Amino acid sequence: MSGVVTGDAVYLGLQPARLPSRALALLLDLVVVWAAYLLISVGIAIATASLDEAAAMALSIASFLLVLVGGPIAVETLSHGRSLGKMACGLRVVREDGGPIRFRHALMRGAMGVVEILMTFGVVACVASLVSERGRRIGDVFAGTLVVRERVAPASAMVVPPPPPWLVGRFSGLDLSAVPDALWLEARQYLTRMGQLDPAIGRRLAERLADELVARTGTPPPPGVPAAAYLAGVVAERQAREARRAFAPAASHAPSAGAAVPSTPAPVAPVAPASPVMPLPPSAPAPRPLPAEGSGKGHRDGNGNGNGDRGGNGDRDANGDMGGNGSRATGFAPPA
């Protein structure tokens, strides 16, 4: 297994960078740093033309330390281990435990880089990287750092191999409630990596895990079943139970194929309330004709001369008088 393993036997999954990629990243960094140093040196030479030789030499040494030593230290500190060359090559400087570096790590790497890279033109750094198992130079050893690859192809998914066909369903009656998660994890890891183990070591590990499962379940394996096959069958049974438990609620809510689906009545549009009918006003009675206004003094005598009195009380006296209210209105008034 290639990768970084800490002192506590924890596998970090980091891939150490090898010499070719580190040399290419260093070459790119040196091109950038030397270009910046030359530009700054030209500017200092023009600015200090009037100064004496000692002052010019002091400024040249200061620019050398500032650009060629302080520049990489500042860049690695601020970028957490990624310079321009390392970014281009997909590399990063990390601590031995996989954490990001700090100023003290970058300072030690930069100070040792002056000796093994600048003064010896990289010969010491190349030899140290070839000798080291994880490609570390002397600066990495003193600083406790490591250059790793960030652009790593994703590993293939580790799939638990299925049990033999004649073992499928044989462990459906096992009580797996007492088996802890740590034991399940060990069994899964063994099944996914048993092809990479030594046969004798793998057989002993499978027997130990099988004995622990038997102690937890209280049921011995069938006679003649290898320990690895027993582990595969029990792990497959647990996965099947988890799958049924996960998909059971969804299946219980789904209607069966033969069940009749109740039809939903179509929504009925609401009927608008009828407008209230206003009652018609009662018809007014027809006006009665007014009686003609008489004189009230006309008399009709008994001789027929037309002067008989017509009284207002409607009485008819012995002389032939007829009142105005009791008589039939003709609308004709006699002449005076």
Residue 13, pLDDT score: 57
- Contact of 71 with 33, CB cutoff 8 Å: yes
CA-CA distance, 101 to 92, in Å (whole number)?
10
* Each residue's pLDDT expressed in tens, for the chain with a length of 336 residues: 445 554 444 445 578 888 888 999 999 999 999 999 899 888 888 887 787 888 888 888 888 888 888 999 999 999 989 899 999 998 999 988 778 899 999 999 999 998 888 888 889 989 998 888 888 999 999 999 999 988 655 444 467 778 888 888 888 888 888 888 888 888 888 888 888 778 888 888 889 998 998 898 888 888 888 888 888 888 888 888 888 887 766 555 555 444 444 444 444 445 444 444 444 455 555 555 555 444 444 444 444 444 444 444 444 443 444 444 444 445 445 555
Count other C-beta atoms under 10 Å from residue 31's C-beta. Answer: 12
Largest alpha-carbon pair distance within the chain? 178
User: From CA 228, how far away is CA 225, in angstroms rounded?
Assistant: 8
Q: What are phi and psi of 100, to 5 degrees?
A: -70, 150
3-state secondary structure of 146: strand
Residue 250, pLDDT score: 55
CA nearest 139: which of 121, 118, 115, 120? 115
- Rounded CA gap, 161 and 148, in Å? 32
pTM here is: 0.45
The answer for residues whose C-beta is within 8 angstroms of residue 256's C-beta and 6 or more apart is none
Asked whether 163 and 232 are in contact (CB, 8 A), the reply is yes
